Structure 1
Amino acid sequence: MFLRNCWYVAGWSKDYVQKLKPQMLLGEEIVFYRQSDGTPVALEDACPHRKLPLSMGAIENDHVVCGYHGLTFDCTGTCIDSPTQRGMTPRRAVVRSYPVVDRYRLLWIWMGDPELANPDDIFEIENFDNPEWGYTDGGMLPIACNYLWVVDNLLDPSHVAWVHVTSFAGAGTDDQPLDMEKTDRGVIVSRWIYDQPASPYYKDLVRFDGHCDRKQHYEMCVPAIALNKSIYTPVGTGGPDKPEVAETYVNISYNFMTPVDEKNTQYIWFQHRNTDPKDAAISEKMNAGAVMAFNEDKEILEAVQRGMDKMATPNIDLGLDLGAKTFRRKLQKLIDAEQAG
């Protein structure tokens, strides 16, 4: 069902403090907390005695104390105290520990073999520390659907013409041909749209007047990270392999889908732009627009999940689904190989 030997986003780093925080990720119950020095910890949320969630216990001296009989676990999941039978702690009194890393304002978790967890493999966000780039606060949205429906949506530039009429839509988004490219980490679906007005979301953000050349770049990376890039440039300056000009506006929406279980997804995003790094008003306006648009996606995708669950006749695919189908095949091959190993 899920690829496990990879890094997923557990949540925003700011939301993990010196307090037990339970979450389900990839169908597994996990409890998070921070030690007194700020180091994040993630453990299986189940005491090995009677499986009471450890999140119902307490933190003492950077350790987790079960709220039933006081079994105490360190950050590695090792039981270091058993008050009811000190000196006779059962060897099997161990809970799983998950590698976790803070990066890019996000807390990342490795759900597979901890021996394979390499922080260097965390998805890179280019220009994150570039002072000339601005970013939004972003958000987190629970969506009651399988994460692959969200993946499909984020590899589909065409849906904006119907779902996001007042935000990301615009001339050409309904019928211009799409290009698809396979990459080492996933797939890219893209197209250039020439000499058209900017979409409603971007019309006050671009740094030039009149029509534009516009690129929709929808990229999905394993396991489920989308880099959706919007490029706006003056008419005649856009197109494949053409260099950016001074007026070129670039906004990248980073989207992190973490499966909660087979019918629920945690969706986290933020946007990164090549202009106005310190303009809080622009960041707030962009974030509000994104929240509105992503809630439109949420309504559609939850209805898709319900429709697919109860379908009476087979569903079909369209040509626009090529990118999503290609990514699904790549991901499934990795899952199959992981399970076989």
Structure 2
Amino acid sequence: MFLRNAWYAAAWDTEVKQALHATILLGESIVLYRKADGAVVALEDACPHRKLPLSMGRLHGDVVECGYHGLTFDGSGACVKAACVSRIPQAAKVRSYPVHERYGLVWLWMGDAAQADPARLLDIPEWNDPAWGVNRGDSMTIDCNYLYMTDNLLDPSHVAWVHQTSFGTAACESEPLQTVVNDDGVVVSRWLYDIEVAPFYQQYLKFAGRADRLQYYEVRYPAHAIIKGIHSPAGTGGEGAAAHEQAFVMDSYNFMTPVDENRTRYYWFQLRNFDPTDEDVSHRFAVDVRRAFEEDRVVLAAVHAGMKNRQSANIDLAIDSGPLRFRRGMERLIREEQDAAAASALNTIEVKAHA
């Protein structure tokens, strides 16, 4: 169901302190905390004795004490103290997850620790560029499978109906979409020409009148979305056109982390090419984006419930090409990962049998 050899956003860096922070990723219970030197630790949230969550225990400096019988674990997951026994059992250990901090987020690698390369994290060239303003982001939990969210973020047309008071206008209803399948994900995009500006964008544009608008929706495996929005004065936009000096550019970065098969934690932030130091703009941006994403939350929760309890078959439309191709790509990657894990396990068994 999930691709495990990948980085997933687990929390904002400000959420993880020198205290026990319980969370769930890909159906796995995890406890996070910071050591005295500021490094983040991520451990399986279950004492190996009776599986009491370690998050119900106590943090003593850099080690976690189980709240049931006092077994104590360090940041590597090794048991360093077991007061109830004469010696520490060999099996007294918990899984430790690779951690990396970037873009104000704490990222966890959920698969084979040997493959946890920070270079595989999404690159954002504008991050820390003083010419770009940043809305530092927000998060929410949505009651739906993460693939309904990737469907949504590869569907520019939905804004015409879901976001009529924010991102959408009637021009978003029917213009054909271009779909490109890459090795790392799928891109769906289109230019809309000489259109009325949607309500969300009107307050931020540096020009008056109608606009040419780019809708660029990209989702990379496992579930990282880059939504690029450009508004340029009508007649100045289009594929290959030089950037207009008054063009509005917003790059929205969206990270979906499955909690389990029925819930997804959604993290986001935006970068913009205007008013980089204006805190009022950043605040209004954050409020308006949150309001628009709440519209998505209502729809996606209802879609998940409707699909889970459907009494008749659902249909696909031409606008579903991008989402369906992304799903097929995910299925292939998950299948390859599972096949590799099965082959490795079989090889281990054979080696032990011949030892």
TM-score by length of 2: 0.94
Structure-1 separation of matches of 2:188 and 2:317? 14
Does residue 160 of structure 1 match 2:159?
A: yes
Q: Could you list the runs of 5+ residues in structure 2 that have no partner in the other structure?
A: 341-355
Q: Kindly provide the amino acid, as one letter, of the partner of residue 74 in structure 1.
A: D
Per-residue displacement from partner, 1:12-52 (whole Å, max 9, x unpaired)? 11100000011111000000000011100000000001101
Per-residue displacement from partner, 1:266-305 (whole Å, max 9, x unpaired)? 0111111011111111111111111111111111011111
Q: Aligned to 1:190, what secondary structure does the other structure show?
A: strand
Structure-1 separation of matches of 2:55 and 2:307? 35
* Structure 1 position 61, deviation (Å): 2.4
Q: Aligned to 2:172, what secondary structure does the other structure show?
A: coil
Q: Aligned to 2:225, what secondary structure does the other structure show?
A: strand
Task: Give the alignment of 1:205-284 within 5 angstroms.
Answer: 205-284=204-283
* Structure 1 position 184, deviation (Å): 2.3
Per-residue displacement from partner, 1:119-177 (whole Å, max 9, x unpaired)? 11111122101000001132111100100001101111111111100100024100111
Per-residue displacement from partner, 1:50-80 (whole Å, max 9, x unpaired)? 1010001111120011111111111010011
Is the CA contact (8 Å cut-off) linking 1:136 and 1:286 kept in structure 2?
Answer: yes
Structure-1 separation of matches of 2:49 and 2:11? 29
Q: Aligned to 1:267, what secondary structure does the other structure show?
A: strand
Structure-2 separation of matches of 1:176 and 1:287? 29
Q: Kindly provide the amino acid, as one letter, of the partner of residue 67 in structure 2.
A: G
Is the CA contact (8 Å cut-off) linking 1:171 and 1:196 kept in structure 2?
Answer: no
Q: How many aligned residue pairs are there?
A: 340
Q: Kindly provide the amino acid, as one letter, of the partner of residue 333 in structure 1.
A: R
In structure 2, the residue matched to 1:194 is 193
Q: Kindly provide the amino acid, as one letter, of the partner of residue 38 in structure 1.
A: G
Q: Could you list the runs of 5+ residues in structure 1 that have no partner in the other structure?
A: none
TM-score by length of 1: 0.98
Is the CA contact (8 Å cut-off) linking 1:144 and 1:264 kept in structure 2?
Answer: yes
Q: Kindly provide the amino acid, as one letter, of the partner of residue 141 in structure 1.
A: M
In structure 2, the residue matched to 1:107 is 106
Structure-2 separation of matches of 1:257 and 1:61? 32
Task: Give the alignment of 1:67-82 within 5 angstroms.
Answer: 67-82=67-82
Structure-2 separation of matches of 1:66 and 1:310? 40
In structure 2, the residue matched to 1:27 is 27
In structure 1, the residue matched to 2:13 is 13
Is the CA contact (8 Å cut-off) linking 1:155 and 1:189 kept in structure 2?
Answer: yes
Structure-2 separation of matches of 1:77 and 1:241? 53
Structure-2 separation of matches of 1:9 and 1:241? 34
In structure 2, the residue matched to 1:60 is 60
Structure-2 separation of matches of 1:239 and 1:182? 21
Larger helix percent: 2
Q: Kindly provide the amino acid, as one letter, of the partner of residue 84 in structure 1.
A: C
Structure-1 separation of matches of 2:137 and 2:80? 39
In structure 1, the residue matched to 2:90 is 91
Structure-1 separation of matches of 2:243 and 2:20? 47
Structure 1 runs (4+) greater than 4 angstroms displaced: none
Does residue 310 of structure 1 match 2:281?
A: no
Q: Aligned to 1:292, what secondary structure does the other structure show?
A: helix
Q: Kindly provide the amino acid, as one letter, of the partner of residue 99 in structure 1.
A: P
Q: Kindly provide the amino acid, as one letter, of the partner of residue 287 in structure 1.
A: A
Structure-2 separation of matches of 1:244 and 1:331? 34
Structure-1 separation of matches of 2:40 and 2:70? 22
* Structure 1 position 11, deviation (Å): 1.4
* Structure 1 position 182, deviation (Å): 1.3
In structure 1, the residue matched to 2:136 is 137
Structure-2 separation of matches of 1:69 and 1:22? 20
Is the CA contact (8 Å cut-off) linking 1:23 and 1:30 kept in structure 2?
Answer: yes
Structure-2 separation of matches of 1:156 and 1:288? 23
Is the CA contact (8 Å cut-off) linking 1:253 and 1:272 kept in structure 2?
Answer: yes
Structure-1 separation of matches of 2:11 and 2:60? 24
Structure-1 separation of matches of 2:125 and 2:321? 27
Q: Kindly provide the amino acid, as one letter, of the partner of residue 32 in structure 1.
A: L
Structure-1 separation of matches of 2:260 and 2:274? 38
Q: Aligned to 1:3, what secondary structure does the other structure show?
A: coil
